[in-house]
Amino acid sequence: PGTLYVVATPIGNLDDITARALKVLREVSLIAAEDTRHSARLLQHFGIETPLAACHEHNERDHGGRFLSRLLSGENVALISDAGTPLISDPGFHLVRSAQAAGVRVVPVPGACALIAALSAAGLPSDRFSFEGFLPAKASARRGRLEGVREESRTLIFYEAPHRLLESLEDMRGVFGGERQAVLARELTKTFETLKGASLAELCAWVAADANQQRGECVVLVGGWQPPEGEDSVSAEAVRVLELLLAEMP
Ligand code: SAM
């Protein structure tokens, strides 16, 4: 069989495409794309003439078979999404899984990914993090989801649509508390790129006061939960007793 390449494309700045991505996109027989019109512009920009076929959320399960039969007949196929890395809050999971199940080799061609770009410049702990994807659109479900990670100690990363940003930030402030540190990473790699770190209370006020912050694409990062001072460490009383005992030791 052929190979399925899972190819990352830019999240804004076209210079972020990799040399390997261009080579693969040029050499495969077919490119499976989330939105063929959108991707046609990208390919045109780089002078790539490989045929495109739609592979989006609604047809992925049924039409996946079409890509699979091309792969099984020995052709190489590339999977791309509208921006960044496929499968990261984007379609492709079913295709990747069925390709693997059919014995097709699946090869990642890494590149831009909004959550990683945001985390790399946010200034929040990055050794452990939890990617939460998009929050539910309905307020009650959204709050429920946030409650579920209230005491998560890893840095939390959310994708958000601009028209829901303020609502979500306000729910985060309600659930995590206004003191919790957060970072809004907006329009990464683009002209109006903004990284703003502040407490959730400050961030809510800042976004509410500036409609420009409610435009474009954004990632919200929230510092992990920290146990209240003293709770997880040795209590002050224990330290006092230890000091008294130490003073008595020969
Ligand atoms: N697959 C993509 C990736 O690798 O990041 C993500 C696709 S998801 C449908 C789109 C979401 O990613 C946006 O709503 C936003 O939260 C985030 N995003 C994409 N591009 C971005 C950018 N340039 N700046 C900030 N966030 C971005």
**Each residue's pLDDT tens digit, 182-194:** 999 999 999 999 9
Tokens of 68: 């699979």
Q: In the prediction, which pLDDT does 233 show?
A: 58
Choice among 125-134, 143-152, 191-200, 210-219 with the minimum mean pLDDT: 210-219
Tell me the backbone φ, ψ of residue 169, rounded to 5 degrees: -60, -40
Q: Tell me the C-alpha distance between 110 and 174, whole Å.
A: 37
- Whether residue 209 is predicted with pLDDT greater than 80 in this model: the reply is yes
Q: What atom of ligand 1 comes closest to residue 190's alpha carbon?
A: 23
Average pLDDT of the chain? 93
DSSP, res 9: B
Residue 49 token pair: 């003439």
- Answer yes or no: is the C-beta of 6 below 6 A from any ligand 1 atom: no
Q: Do the interacting molecules here have an ipTM over 0.90?
A: yes
φ/ψ of 108, rounded to 5, equals: -80, 140
**CB of 188 shorter than 6 A to ligand 1:** yes
Query: Is 14 close to ligand 1, i.e. is its CB under 6 Å away?
Result: no
Question: Is 234 in a helix, a strand, or coil?
Answer: coil
Beta-strand pair 155-160/105-109: unpaired
Q: Would you tell me how many other CB atoms lie within 10 Å of the CB of residue 38?
A: 15
For residue 247, what pLDDT is reported?
Answer: 84
Q: What is the pLDDT of residue 245?
A: 85
Distance 57 CA to ligand 1 centre (A): 16
Which has the closest alpha carbon to 26: 56, 5, 54? 5
**How confident is the model at residue 59, as a pLDDT?**
72
Cβ 114 under 6 angstroms from ligand 1: yes
pLDDT cut 70: percent of the chain above it: 94
Contact 14, 38 (CB under 8 A): no
C-beta of 89 in contact with ligand 1 (< 6 A): yes
